[in-house]
Homo-oligomer: A and B are copies of this chain.
Amino acid sequence: MDLEGLRVMGIDPGLTRCGLSVVQAGRGRQVLPVAVGVARTPAGSELAERLLRLSRAVKEWIDDYQPDVIAMERIFERGNVSTVMHTAHAVGVMILAAAERDIPVHMYTPSEVKKAISGNGRADKKQMTTMITRILALGEPPKPADAADALAIAVCHCWRAPLIARGAALSAPTTRSGVSVR
């Protein structure tokens, strides 16, 4: 299954800092970097204002880079309750932005991303940054960590997409685009 040219937008969700990236699948396991950045919203602002800003930033990225699919890190209920809830609100807003443009969203757990990129589901931030810099042949390591994470999530999807597409072809024909949010 050849996915050369597939454009993947990677999102490391967050309300204060949201990592955003776009990569393009090349031949075989080659992946080319297209864009990387971080959308920030001021922690002191109202939640509604912050969600509005984040929504606009993500819509701008989607409209500018026209990804075929969005890969997002799945969030868990751990750490500060208020932070988790804010991130969950942000995820809702970003999934909506994708749905409004009929772009499928695929979710990956942090360990799935780590395993895909480094071969180790428990790789640390430094190992991940080193690997993603090498894989994308970047001149220097991407900063901040959220940006590197967003690239890792997008590359993870590029490498998992052929398997997903193959799985979808074998399964029921009701699976839309072969990629779904679960």
User: What residues make up the interface of A, taking CB atoms closer than 8 Å to B?
Assistant: 46-49, 51-52, 55, 75, 77, 81, 84-85, 88-93, 95-96, 98-100, 104-105, 176, 180-182
Residue contact A99 to B49, C-beta cutoff 8 Å = yes
A selection of 25 A-B contacts at a CB cut-off of 8 Å is A46-B176, A46-B180, A46-B181, A46-B182, A47-B95, A47-B182, A48-B98, A48-B105, A51-B92, A51-B95, A51-B96, A52-B96, A52-B99, A55-B96, A75-B85, A88-B88, A88-B89, A88-B92, A89-B89, A89-B91, A89-B92, A90-B92, A92-B93, A93-B93, A96-B96
CA distance A95 to B104 in the complex (A): 23
Contact (A51, B85) CB under 8 Å given A92-B91, A93-B93: no
Give the copy number.
2
Residue contact B77 to A84, C-beta cutoff 8 Å = yes
Which residues from B are CB-within-8-Å of A182? 46-47
Main secondary structure on A side of the interface with B? helix
* A105 and chain B: residue at smallest CB distance: B48
What's the nearest-Cβ distance from chain B to residue A56, in Å?
10
Residue contact A89 to B95, C-beta cutoff 8 Å = yes
Known: A48-B104, A48-B105. 8 other contacts (CB 8 A): A47-B182, A48-B95, A48-B98, A55-B96, A75-B85, A89-B89, A93-B93, A96-B96
